[in-house]
C-alpha cells in the first residue's frame, strides 16, 4: 500500500478516527492499535514477512532487557546475538546471491570455475530500515545511553510504526520510543503542519518524481539513441526523481505521524542547496547518514585519527552505505565515488579557506558556484546509482561526453525550466522547516492560494504511478 493510492486514502482516515476517538483512552490501547494497524499496513505487500518484523522486535526486546542484569562478558554475547540475527537476516535476503556470484567470478580469473546454487526469494520491503532501527536500540542499551523498556507494546510500536516502517526515516529509540510511552493528545497546529507536509510530499512524488521517471526510464534504456546534452539532462532528471521520490516519501511519513501526535526526525533539508559534499550528507537521508556516523564512523575513530586512518574510515562508511542500498556493484561504486570525493573535500577544505574569495560566506556568486559544483558531482554519482550495471553506467557517461554534448537537448524543455523554478522556491525556503512552511506569509488568503495551487498541480500534472524507489532497499 503506497501513500499516493486510493487504498491508503481509505485506510488512513479510518485509522485516524479509531486512533483518536476509540483507542484514545489509554496509552496501551493506542499502542496495541498502532501495532495491529502497522502489521496490517505491511501485510498489503506480503503478510509472510511479518514474521521477520515480529522476530526482530521480540529478540531485541528481550536482549535489551537481559542486558540490564548481565555481566560484561554476557552483555557482549547478547549484543552479538542481536547483531548476528539482524545483520544475518539482511545478508540472507539481500546479499547472499551477490557475494556468491562475486566469489564465483573471482575464481574464474584463475580459470577455476565453480558451481553454486542461488536462492530465489522476494526481498522483504523495508528490511534495511526496520532492522537498523531495532539494532540501534540494542546497541544504545548496550552502551548504556538509554534504559531498556519493559513495555513490550510501546517497543513493538516503535519498531513497526507504519508511516516510517518501509522507507524510514530510521528512527532512534531516544527520540521515538519515549513518545509511545506517554499519552498523546491531538494538537491542531501539529495536525495542520502534518497536512502541509503531506501535500508537499505528494507534490514532490507525483508531480516531480513520477514525471521525471517517464523521461529517465526511456533515456537509460536507450542511451545510445540520444545526444550527450539530452543524456546530461536525463542524469539531472534522475537526480530530481530520486530526490522528489524519497524526500516526498519522508515528508508524507512525517506528516502522517504528526496527525497521530508523533514527531519523526527530519530526513532531508534541501540537500541540492549544499555547498560541498560534507554538507550534502548532512542534508540527504539524514537518518541513515547519522546512523552510519554514530554506529560505524565514530567507533572506528571518526576524524580523531591519522590522515591515513581517516581515509580508511570514510571509505568503509561509504562502501557500507553503498552496499546498504543494494547488492550490486553499481551501488558499491556509487558509495566509493562519494567516499573518494568526500576525502578530497576534507583535505582541500583548509586550502579553500586560505583563499580570500572563499572566506566571504555572504557572497552569493561564490555560493552558487559551490552549489553548482556539488550538484554536478552528485549528479555524476547518480548515474551509477540508476544504471543496472557498471558497463551501462560508464556507457551512459561516455555517451554524455561526446561531441553532441553541446547540441540542443531533445525532449520537454519546459519541464526542465519547471524544475529550475522549483529549485528557486527551495532556495527561497532554505531556512524554513519544509517546502510549505509558509506561516511567515501574513495574508491567510495568499497562503491558501499556495495550498490549493499545489493541490491543483498534484491532481492535474501527476505522472503515471511509480513505486517509491527506496521500497527496494
Dihedral sign (CA 399, 471, 463, 251): negative
User: Running DSSP on this structure, what letter comes out for residue 337?
Assistant: H
Polymer length in residues for the chain: 473
* Cell 553541446 sits on residue: 406
- CB contact burial 137-153 (16+ within 10 A = b; e otherwise): bbbbbbeeebebbebeb
Cβ atoms of 6 and 44 closer than 8 Å: no
* Cell 570514510 sits on residue: 314
Number of neighbouring beta carbons within 10 Å of residue 184: 16
Point out the catalytic residue in the list 285, 325, 338, 434: 325
The three three-digit cell numbers of residue 471, written as one number:
521500497
Alpha-carbon span 438 to 197, nearest angstrom: 11
Number of neighbouring beta carbons within 10 Å of residue 92: 12
* Helices of type H across 161-208: 173-176, 188-202
Pick from 64, 382, 338: which is nearest to 244 by CA?
Answer: 382
Instruction: Kindly write down the DSSP assignment for every residue of 299-330, as one continuous string.
Output: TTTTTSS-HHHHHHHHHHHHHHHHHHH-SSHH
Alpha-carbon span 211 to 140, nearest angstrom: 41
Q: Give catalytic status of residue 325 as yes or no.
A: yes
User: Running DSSP on this structure, what letter comes out for residue 92?
Assistant: I
**Catalytic residue positions?**
325
Amino acid at each position: 500500500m503506497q501513500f499516493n493510492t486510493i487504498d491508503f486514502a481509505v485506510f488512513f482516515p479510518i485509522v485516524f478516527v479509531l486512533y483518536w476517538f476509540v483507542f484514545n483512552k489509554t496509552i496501551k490501547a493506542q499502542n496495541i492499535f498502532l501495532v495491529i494497524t502497522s502489521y496490517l499496513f505491511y501485510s498489503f505487500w506480503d503478510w509472510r514477512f511479518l514474521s521477520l518484523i515480529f522476530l526482530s522486535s521480540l529478540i531485541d526486546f528481550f536482549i535489551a532487557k537481559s542486558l540490564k542484569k548481565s555481566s560484561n562478558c554476557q552483555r557482549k554475547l547478547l549484543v552479538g546475538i542481536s547483531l548476528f540475527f539482524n545483520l544475518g537476516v539482511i545478508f540472507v535476503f539481500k546479499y547472499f546471491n551477490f557475494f556468491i556470484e562475486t566469489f564465483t567470478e573471482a575464481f574464474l580469473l584463475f580459470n577455476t570455475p565453480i558451481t553454486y546454487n542461488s536462492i530465489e526469494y522476494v526481498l522483504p520491503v523495508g528490511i534495511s530500515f526496520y532492522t537498523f532501527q531495532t539494532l540501534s536500540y540494542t546497541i544504545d542499551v548496550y552502551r548504556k545511553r538509554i534504559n531498556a523498556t519493559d513495555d513490550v507494546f510501546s517497543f513493538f510500536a516503535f519498531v513497526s510504526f507504519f508511516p516510517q516502517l518501509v522507507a524510514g526515516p530510521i528512527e532512534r529509540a531516544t527520540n521515538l520510543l519515549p513518545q509511545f510511552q506517554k499519552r498523546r493528545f491531538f494538537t491542531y497546529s501539529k495536525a495542520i503542519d502534518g497536512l502541509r507536509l503531506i501535500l508537499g510530499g505528494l507534490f514532490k512524488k507525483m508531480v516531480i518524481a513520477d514525471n521525471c521517471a517517464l523521461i529517465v526510464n526511456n533515456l537509460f534504456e536507450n542511451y545510445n539513441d540520444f545526444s550527450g546534452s539530452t543524456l546530461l539532462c536525463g542524469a539531472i532528471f534522475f537526480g530530481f526523481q530520486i530526490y522528489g521520490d524519497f524526500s516526498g516519501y519522508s515528508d508524507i511519513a512525517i506528516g502522517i505521524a504528526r496527525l497521530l501526535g508523533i514527531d519523526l526526525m527530519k530526513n532531508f533539508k534541501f540537500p541540492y542547496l549544499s555547498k560541498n559534499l560534507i554538507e550534502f550528507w548532512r542534508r540527504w537521508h539524514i537518518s541513515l547518514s547519522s546512523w552510519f556516523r554514530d554506529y560505524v564512523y565514530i567507533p572506528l575513530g571518526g576524524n580523531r585519527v591519522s590522515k591515513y586512518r581517516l581515509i580508511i574510515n570514510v571509505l568503509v562508511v561509504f562502501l557500507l552505505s553503498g552496499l546498504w542500498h543494494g547488492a550490486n556493484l553499481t551501488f558499491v561504486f556509487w558509495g566509493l565515488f562519494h567516499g573518494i570525493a568526500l576525502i578530497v573535500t576534507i583535505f582541500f577544505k583548509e586550502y579553500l579557506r586560505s583563499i580570500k574569495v572563499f572566506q566571504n560566506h555572504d557572497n552569493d556568486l561564490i555560493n552558487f558556484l559551490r552549489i553548482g559544483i556539488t550538484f554536478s558531482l552528485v549528479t555524476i554519482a547518480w548515474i551509477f546509482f540508476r544504471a543496472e550495471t557498471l558497463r551501462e553506467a560508464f556507457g551512459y557517461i561516455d555517451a554524455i561526453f561526446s561531441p553532441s554534448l553541446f547540441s540542443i537537448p531533445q525532449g520537454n524543455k519546459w519541464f526542465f525550466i519547471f524544475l529550475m523554478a522549483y529549485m528557486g522556491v527551495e532556495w527561497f525556503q532554505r531556512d524554513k522547516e519544509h517546502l510549505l512552511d509558509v506561516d511567515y506569509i501574513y495574508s491567510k488568503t495568499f497562503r491558501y492560494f499556495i495550498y490549493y495551487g499545489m493541490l491543483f498541480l498534484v491532481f492535474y500534472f501527476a505522472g503515471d504511478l511509480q513505486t517509491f524507489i527506496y521500497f527496494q532497499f
